Amino acid sequence: MANSISIPRPLVRANQWTIVLTVAAVWITGLHHLLLIPLLAGLGGVLFNFNPVMRLAKVFLKKPMSSYIPEDRSDQRFNQILAVFFLTGGYVSFISGWTIAGYAFTIMVVTAASVAIMGFCVGCFIRFQWKQWQYRKAKASKSF
């Protein structure tokens, strides 16, 4: 999995569900340290290409990895960076006593993860628009 250009969708979904359920647990219980679960898993994925949530979920997959719908690795890396940013913002805000900011950050990450579970990848859309902007900017600079 580390060398492939895609990630099986069930592993991505497991990561998304972990974010959604953990944030919901934080909202219900007020145990802000629970945000460290998806945050540290996400950091592991971004920094070391090792996401323990995905590694655990991989154990439960029955079919060969290639038989699952693939998700683009670079899109998922971008999404994970965004998730880590918002989870960090939420965690730091909550432990600093900035409750409104904590809720704002966690609402954003749980909304993105929930919408992704339903089939629309907000992070992929943002990344696509960013790439389009970079392309247009590069094309415009070459025309001068």
pLDDT at residue 142, rounded to an integer: 83
pTM recorded for the entire structure: 0.91
User: In Å, how far are 38, 39, 117, 141 from 89, measured between CA atoms?
Assistant: 13, 10, 22, 36
pLDDT for the residue numbered 30: 98
pLDDT, position 4: 66
Cα–Cα distance, 69 to 137 (Å, whole number): 33
pLDDT on residue 2: 46
Give 18: exposed, middle or buried? Use CB within 10 Å, 0-12, 13-18, 19+.
Answer: buried
Tens-level pLDDT at each residue, the chain (144 residues): 445 689 999 999 999 999 999 999 999 999 999 999 999 999 999 999 999 999 999 999 999 999 999 999 999 999 999 999 999 999 999 999 999 999 999 999 999 999 999 999 999 999 999 999 999 999 888 876
Residues of 104-140 as b/e, b for ≥16 C-beta within 10 angstroms? ebbebbbebbbebeeeebbbbeebeeeeeeeeeeeee
Spans of all domains in the chain: 6-142
Q: What is the structure's pLDDT at 144?
A: 67
**Of residues 25, 29, 26, 22, the one with CA closest to residue 53:** 22
- What sign for the dihedral angle of Cα 31, 36, 42, 45? negative
Amino acid identity at 37 = I
In a 13 Å sphere around the CA of 25, the CA atoms on its Cβ side amount to: 14
With beta carbons less than 8 A apart as the criterion, state whether 51 and 41 touch.
yes
pLDDT digits (tens, 9 = 90+) for 41-75: 999 999 999 999 999 999 999 999 999 999 999 99
